[in-house]
């Protein structure tokens, strides 16, 4: 069958022999961003030689490991009169130069050897990315949580950490497109999960990661296949990737054409999401939203005035090497976009509680709640505490704030953040008959406004979940109405861009509660407003 662009897919007829496979099987982003003060453990260095072709044949009988050993070595194998350099040694720029000088001094440095030497550390990044994707395939956790644990245990430089994250997250975001490309060359034959992960990694580098040369993408993926127990299938991996190298320009044209005919494949989203968004916003706006969801999101931080001033924070950031720019939004004047930084959990500015990592859109609900000093405030769905602590900041700790959550165990996150930020908050369920001046509901939702951050959510979420969530959301507003003082205010908020969870829920509540009215509504759409998606509605008792 011809492809949508008229190109012959030309499937590869290669029957890969069976081999032992990688074992496989089929959150809250604000807390994940702020809970980064983890200890990093340096694992034992692996030792390898990337290519012995650059070495004179007289030396090729010396003991070397052509691939990463699967067992720990008591000491590195020797090459000539000096040990081969461990991968984590080469993550240091100074050590890379020392290694290069040693190879050149022995007359062994060739162009190919230089390329392999530079790729050794990046090879470790690919190993980490593959482990993240394997665990995600087995359903162990959200990919963001898996990545946090794997990176904490890996001995990677900052640059290689970034590569590992880009590869892992990119393969998940682009999974639909990558699987389409794999199926074109394998006639739709089912691949072992581990092998499909390898093909996704290689194809992602070829089509969505410009920094990696074609030959590096192919070679490093083939070597990764060997390290992960897929040596018998490495020829198959090589054949698929080299075929796409030969037809790269045609394939890019195919993907561009697919944006007009099957945009959910070209931009790697579930078809049902494309249909919902294109019907509501129009095709151009839906395409813009899907393109945005495939990009890495900006990192925002808000100044915490409970602990310091604008000048104190920015001066400390400059001393700590944090690159930042101030951002102005009509609802959030105290926000910075972080462009580059050391590990944030290690910074004095973080430990002192001078800032909190939080998208600018998340500040809209606390602002529109309108809390005042001396009032009683209930946050009904408080964890992990970003909005709750901002309410405390807006009231200068002069309001009585109670934090509850539909999952009480998560209130430990609120306590952790409140202590670091100096926010005075009562944590735990209040008496059922206690009444409040204002109640904030940051309701559980589909999270379709934060798909850039919840990387694998698009593949987990099903359309049938939306009406179920709407029922829960309506119940939360009804519960809040019974705990509200006369003339009190409810601020309903989600990070969904679905009207079924937003305007429809609020109007259904108003229909059955004539003593309430909608005082304010606002919706933030990522492609239009440049921040995460959000909806807020201020509901007041008449």
Question: Is 103 inside any structural domain?
Answer: yes
State the pLDDT confidence band at 406, using cuts at 50, 70 and 90: confident
Query: Per residue in 442-478, pLDDT tens?
Result: 999 999 999 999 999 999 999 999 999 999 999 999 9
Among 83-92, 112-121, 483-492, the minimum mean pLDDT is found in: 83-92
Whether residue 80 has pLDDT greater than 90 = no
Query: Does residue 30 surpass a pLDDT of 90?
Result: no
- In terms of Cα–Cα distance, which of 366, 329, 363, 292 is closest to 526? 292
Q: Is 390 exposed, middle or buried (0-12, 13-18, 19+ CB in 10 A)?
A: buried
> What pLDDT does 41 receive?
34
Domain total in the chain = 4
N- to C-terminal Cα distance for the chain? 64
Marked catalytic residue, from 171, 381, 445, 495: 495
Q: Is 106 a catalytic residue?
A: no
User: 102 and 245 share a domain?
Assistant: no
pLDDT value at residue 121: 53
What's the angle, vertex CA 129, arms to CA 124 and CA 131, rounded to 5? Answer: 95
Q: How far apart are CA 459 and CA 173, in angstroms?
A: 9
pLDDT of residue 83 exceeding 60 = no
Asked whether residue 341 falls in the same domain as residue 367, the answer is no
Lowest mean pLDDT among 50-64, 209-223, 420-434, 485-499: 50-64
337 and 419, same domain (yes or no) = no
Q: Which of 339, 358, 377 is the last residue of a domain?
A: 358
Domain presence at residue 202: yes
Strands of 85-184, DSSP E: none
Q: What is the CATH number of the domain that holds 207?
A: 1.10.940.10
- Domain range enclosing 86: 46-163
Contact 508, 467 (CB under 8 A): no
* Residue 53 in this model has a pLDDT that exceeds 60: no
276 occurs within a structural domain:
no
158 and 192, same domain (yes or no)? no
Length of the chain equals: 542
CATH number at residue 463: 3.40.50.150
Same domain, 342 and 383: no
Residues 6+ apart with CB under 8 A from 528: 285
Q: Is residue 14 part of a domain?
A: no
Q: Give yes or no: residues 495 and 434 share one domain.
A: yes
Structure tokens at 515: 């003593």
> Average model confidence (pLDDT) for the chain?
82
Whether 200 is covered by a domain: the verdict is yes
In a domain, 79, yes or no: yes
Q: In the prediction, which pLDDT does 44 show?
A: 28
Strand, coil or helix: 484: strand
Smallest Cα–Cα separation from 72: which of 49, 46, 90?
A: 46
Residues 515 and 382 in one domain: yes
- Structure confidence at residue 342 as a pLDDT band (50, 70, 90): confident
Residue 322 and residue 240 share a domain? no
338 and 391 in a single domain? The answer is no
Q: Residues 411, 466: one domain?
A: yes
In a domain, 397, yes or no: yes
Residue 336 CA to residue 355 CA, distance in Å, equals 10
Q: Judge whether 191 and 12 are in contact, CB under 8 Å.
A: no
In a domain, 135, yes or no: yes
Could you say which of 329, 358, 387 is where a domain stops? Answer: 358
User: Domain containing 321 — which CATH number?
Assistant: 3.30.70.1170
Could you tell me if 63 and 142 lie in one domain? yes
pLDDT score for 393: 98
Using the 3D structure, point to which of 163, 189, 223 is the last residue of a domain: 163
Let me know whether 433 and 494 are in one domain: yes
């Amino acid at each position: 069958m011809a492809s949508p662009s008229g190109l012959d897919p030309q499937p590869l007829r290669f029957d890969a022999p069976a081999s032992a496979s990688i074992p496989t099987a089929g959150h809250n982003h604000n807390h994940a961003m702020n809970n980064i003060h983890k200890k990093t453990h340096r694992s034992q260095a692996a030792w390898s030689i990337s290519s012995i072709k650059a070495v004179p044949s007289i030396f090729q009988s010396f003991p070397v490991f052509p691939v990463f050993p699967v067992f720990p070595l008591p000491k590195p194998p020797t090459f000539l009169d000096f040990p081969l350099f461990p991968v984590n040694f080469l993550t240091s720029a100074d050590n890379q130069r020392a290694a290069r000088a040693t190879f050149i001094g022995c007359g062994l440095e060739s162009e190919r050897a230089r390329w392999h030497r530079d790729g050794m550390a990046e090879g470790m990044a690919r190993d980490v990315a593959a482990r993240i994707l394997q665990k995600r395939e087995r359903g162990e956790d959200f990919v963001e949580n898996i990545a946090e644990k794997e990176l904490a245990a890996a001995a990677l430089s900052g640059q290689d950490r970034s590569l590992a994250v880009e590869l892992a997250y990119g393969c998940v975001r682009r999974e639909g497109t990558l699987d389409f490309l794999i199926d074109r060359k394998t006639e739709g034959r089912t691949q072992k999960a581990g092998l499909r992960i390898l093909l996704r990694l290689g194809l992602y580098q070829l089509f969505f990661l410009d920094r990696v040369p074609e030959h590096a993408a192919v070679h490093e993926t083939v070597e990764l296949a060997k390290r992960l127990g897929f040596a018998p299938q490495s020829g198959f991996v090589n054949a698929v990737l080299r075929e796409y190298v030969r037809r790269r320009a045609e394939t890019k044209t195919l993907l561009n054409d697919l944006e007009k005919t099957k945009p959910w494949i070209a931009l790697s989203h579930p078809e049902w999401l494309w249909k919902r968004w294109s019907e509501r916003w129009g095709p151009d706006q839906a395409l813009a939203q899907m393109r945005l969801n495939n990009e890495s999101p900006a990192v925002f931080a808000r100044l915490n005035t409970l602990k310091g001033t604008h000048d104190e924070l920015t001066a400390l950031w400059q001393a700590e090497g944090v690159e930042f720019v101030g951002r102005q939004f009509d609802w959030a004047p105290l926000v910075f976009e972080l462009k580059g930084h050391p590990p944030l959990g290690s910074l004095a500015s973080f430990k002192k509680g001078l800032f909190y990592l939080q998208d600018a859109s998340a500040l809209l609900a606390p602002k529109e709640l309108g809390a005042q000093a001396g009032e009683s405030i209930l946050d009904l769905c408080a964890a992990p505490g970003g909005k709750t602590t901002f309410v405390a900041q807006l009231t200068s700790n002069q309001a009585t704030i109670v934090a509850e959550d539909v999952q009480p165990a998560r209130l430990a996150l609120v306590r952790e953040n409140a202590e670091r930020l100096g926010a005075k908050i009562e944590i735990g369920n209040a008496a059922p008959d206690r009444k409040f001046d204002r109640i904030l509901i940051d309701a559980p939702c589909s999270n379709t406004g934060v798909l850039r951050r919840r990387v694998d959510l698009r593949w987990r979420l099903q359309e049938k979940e939306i009406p179920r969530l709407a029922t829960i959301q309506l119940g939360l507003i009804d519960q809040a109405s019974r705990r509200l003082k006369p003339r009190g205010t409810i601020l309903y908020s989600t990070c969904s861009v679905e009207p079924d969870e937003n305007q429809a829920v609020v109007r259904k509540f108003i229909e059955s509660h004539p003593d309430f009215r909608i005082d304010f509504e606002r919706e933030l759409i990522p492609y239009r407003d440049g921040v995460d998606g959000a909806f807020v509605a201020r509901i007041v008792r008449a």
